[in-house]
Structure 1
Amino acid sequence: MRLQKIVMKNFKPYREQIEITLNRDCTQANKHIFVIYGDNGFGKTSLLDAIYWGLFGQKARKTQLLFNDKEAKRKKTEMFVELTFYDEVLDRTYVIFRKATKTATSIHETLEVIVNGEAIVGDPLLKQEYIEQYIMPYEISRFFFFDAEDVKTLAREQGGDTVKDSVELLLGLKAIRESIEDMDNVRQDLEKQRKKYLKEEGKLQEIGRKLNEVSEKLELYKKRYENVKAELKSKKEKLSQLRKDLAEFGYEEIKKLAEKRDALELKLKSLTEKKRGDHERN
């Protein structure tokens, strides 16, 4: 799943409609990592806010604080954010269109979710649940969209349950494990039925067929479970290395600053002694 395009209007500093298209040549091999950089005050954080608000609305960002300052002074105005995602595995395109209309007394928010050109029908709550189930769970969003300053926070965390639960949720590990347990329960029930109807050949054949299907699915889920477990282990190792690299980077930066400070103090001391000597000679 990767973010392809962002379109927005009257959102914080972006007053006129603006469209940002991310590199379509990005492949799964290079992990879909995009870095947006620029000087302070040029809208980097606002772009991040637009993504969060587009995905999660009021749950992530307070809508009333997101209108462009000049537009917010008008009696009636509207802002919107449109996000386009593409899922390479399922070959599916998702378009999320969230709009807020502001009047003198109220703010009304609407949400549309379009999958491969077909709109999801239902109330906003249903559509929001669809986004968090199939596009981006809110609990793990901070591992995909974050300010550079948040890297230090992630690196300082020991991971533990927070990172583990989030990665498991992303990979579907919990769902696979629960599916295996459910399939085992179904198989046990079918075994009981098979014994009960052992003398009834017709029923026995049907139960046997179902048992084979369940067994095949169970084996498939077990293989998927092992594969995801291995992938989780690899990601945890990479996360550990990232923390280590960030810690070393921080140490080197502090060391350089300390050396620079010592050099300046030494220079200041030398200048002070020279000035004192000149004063005594005079």
Structure 2
Amino acid sequence: MIFVELVLQNFGPYNGRQVINLNPQENDNSRPILLLGGMNGGGKTTLMDAIRLALYGSRAQCSNRGNLSYSDFLSQCVNSHTPGIEKTRVELLFEHIENDQPVKYRIVRTWEKNPKDGKDNLGILELDVAKQEDWLREELVNTWDDYIENLLPLGISNLFLFDGEQVKELAEQEVPPPIVVDAIRGLLGLELAERLGVDLEIVVNRKRKEIADTKDLVNIEEIEKRLKQQQAEYEEKTKQLEKLKTELQELEKEKQDAFDKFVYEGGKIAAERNQLELQKKQKTTDVEQARQGMCQLADSILPLALIEPLLTQAQRQGEKEFRIQQAQIARDILFERDKRLLNWMTQAGISEEQVEKIKAFLEQDEETLRANLIQPEESWLLADAETLSQLGNIFYYLQNEKKIAKQQIDILANKEEDIVTLERQIQTAAEPEAYKQLVDALEAAQNKVSQMKAASEVTKRSCDELEAEIKKIKKDLQEYSKQNIDRKNYEHIITSAAKVQQTLKLFREKLTLRKLNKLEVEVTECFRYLLHKSDLVHRVAIDTHTFSLSLYDVQGKPVPKHRLSAGEKQLLAIAFLWGLARVSGRRLPVAIDTPLGRLDSSHRNNLVERYFPSASHQVILLSTDTEIGKKEVKILRENEAIAREYLLKYDSSTRQTTVEPGYFW
């Protein structure tokens, strides 16, 4: 099956007639990818809805339909700028093989705002390739739902027409949701055996009624009536339970929002205000103690640090004057000795010439001493040795005091910074009235969640009781019927049917194992092909009942799914869908909306290079400029994987979208 052309006229944001050629083949060249780019809110999802609407009509699972009736949904899809005389139109031309021959059908759905009878007008046209003309196939119009179910059943359509959010949900859930499980069963052909078993049960019940006498028939019908009532009640309770679960999820979200608001608006800090105030008081006391310590330091010699350079100068001057005093004393002693020496030499009878030489030497030595050691200058400090010693002690104690003062200043600065931080926290705390409102809102949300959980538990208990009652009634009905069967031919039918059902059960189990074994191989191969960590997972196993996935490494040890990153989980979900498509054997187009959400660069490259070109013979990608960007487009173009490119250009002023050839780049 190939989608050849999509035509939108006055549909959603698409005003006027917009034609999109989706044919992946041109001039005998086949490239699988049709790339359509558009910004968020620009109409990408609307294109997916148009394809679904064309195929399935009122049964279509469109994104923005919700609980709307089909009539209201069609009215909602009409473009706001559509003139009153014009109709809204969706056309989908597709090709498939019928009786070993290719045929093309054009699905045409038209309607106007507030459509009559609450539905659209359906036309199925067959394209005559030779004459390039369409002719109406009225017999297909009346049986279209059955016809399309044979080509692309609605139950499996979400496995071929899906979006990134759908993949994200499938990746985050441990067990696939029921709608996906049903689609998987349909895609693998497992529902045929189950349907045959149900049909046999209907035949057996019909035969039981035929062979029972009037009294027995009344009893059987009464039991069956009670069974139907219980089954109807069970279905109602099941729906109610699903609704309660949905409401519980919403209430859980509201509870989380209330808690986030409680924290964001200062409720949590307000609850801790007293403790913060005590901490601030303690820090303030510590600061005051530090300041008192500083005051005590200021009572001693610490203030002398302000004149430390002057003290240093005084110490140097004192030492200098002290040396001068010592030199002067030494000079006077030497001069006295020189006089005594000269007198002695005169008395000793030394010649006058030698005495004069010695006297000249001593006079020269005296001048040298005056020049080198004694430089007279004004003495103003007049410090003695004891004073200089005390001045040295002052310097020693002053350095210790400065070190202690610096430590106290650092402590004081840290404590004051802590006080500022605590004051900021206290200032962000909610006021008492606002705090009470936040607490009340949080408690109300918690109470709603508790009440909803209780209601869900009660409903679930009722469902379990009804299920047990239904099993008991079925068992009673079976035993009652067996005891009242008289006709041998019907006994043979019923006995044979029981054997056939047992055979069907075995067949169903073996078919499931066979299909799932093949599916496990395909999913493993696809996942390892997409995953850049080829050694992370060696085998993917699929549960036969829930279809949940289990991962194993090379040693056969389980690999917990929480070890996978969010991107790897999405690749696993995509590999699951890819494997299903390959195992089903159906050649169907694949359309992906927002294909690369939440994936890192390496996972994106693997998906772009390996999955998109191989996912199907026709792959329609609806992407923003941040998902399939310049790099990804370049890779796809270099690999010759893109057949056509379109840009959904959205005008925010008119809220209209036009389809133009080309991509963002």
Kept after mapping to 2: 8 A contact 1:85/1:93? yes
Q: Which residue in 2 is equivalent to 1:19?
A: 19
Query: How do 1:159-198 and structure 2 match up within 5 A?
Result: 159=176, 162-172=179-189, 174-175=191-192
Kept after mapping to 1: 8 A contact 2:109/2:120? yes
Distance 2:32 2:184 in 1: 17
The one-letter code matched in structure 1 to 2:89 is F
Q: Which range moved further: 232-241 or 148-157?
A: 232-241
Give unpaired runs (5+ residues) of structure 2. Answer: 63-72, 129-134, 197-510, 531-548, 550-560, 571-597, 601-665
The structural deviation recorded for 1:80 is: 1.0
**1:133-166, CA deviations, whole angstroms, 9 ceiling, x for partnerless residues?**
2332112222222232222022234337644532
The one-letter code matched in structure 2 to 1:54 is A
RCO (CA 8 Å, sep 6+): is it higher in 1 or 2?
2
**1:50-107, CA deviations, whole angstroms, 9 ceiling, x for partnerless residues?**
1121112233252111000111xx4443111111222268533232111113369776
Give unpaired runs (5+ residues) of structure 1. Answer: 180-224, 256-282
Given the superposition, is the C-alpha separation of residues 155 and 50 from structure 1 closer, same or farther in structure 2, using an over 3 Å criterion? same
Kept after mapping to 1: 8 A contact 2:78/2:112? no
Distance 1:160 1:239 in 2: 22
Distance 1:14 1:142 in 2: 24
Q: Which residue in 1 is equivalent to 2:566?
A: 247
* Corresponding residue SS for 2:93: strand
Distance 2:33 2:160 in 1: 9
Kept after mapping to 1: 8 A contact 2:75/2:112? no
The structural deviation recorded for 1:3 is: 1.8
Kept after mapping to 1: 8 A contact 2:95/2:105? yes
* Corresponding residue SS for 1:69: coil
Pick the structure with greater CA Rg. 2
Distance 2:139 2:97 in 1: 26
The one-letter code matched in structure 1 to 2:165 is E
2:92 to 83, 86, 109: 83
Instruction: Determine if the alignment matches structure 1 residue 138 to structure 2 residue 457.
Output: no
2:75 to 54, 57, 64: 64
Distance 2:520 2:32 in 1: 21
Given the superposition, is the C-alpha separation of residues 108 and 160 from structure 1 closer, same or farther in structure 2, using an over 3 Å criterion? closer
Q: Which residue in 2 is equivalent to 1:6?
A: 6
**1:212-258, CA deviations, whole angstroms, 9 ceiling, x for partnerless residues?**
xxxxxxxxxxxxx79x836544455468778977734579x799xxx
Q: Which residue in 1 is equivalent to 2:105?
A: 94
Given the superposition, is the C-alpha separation of residues 254 and 16 from structure 1 closer, same or farther in structure 2, using an over 3 Å criterion? closer
Instruction: Determine if the alignment matches structure 1 residue 113 to structure 2 residue 129.
Output: no
Given the superposition, is the C-alpha separation of residues 95 and 173 from structure 1 closer, same or farther in structure 2, using an over 3 Å criterion? farther
Distance 1:81 1:130 in 2: 19
Matched positions, count: 209
The structural deviation recorded for 1:21 is: 1.3
Query: How do 1:23-42 and structure 2 match up within 5 A?
Result: 23-25=23-25, 34=34, 36-42=36-42
The structural deviation recorded for 1:177 is: 9.2
The structural deviation recorded for 1:13 is: 1.0
Percent sequence identity over aligned pairs = 28
The one-letter code matched in structure 1 to 2:147 is Y
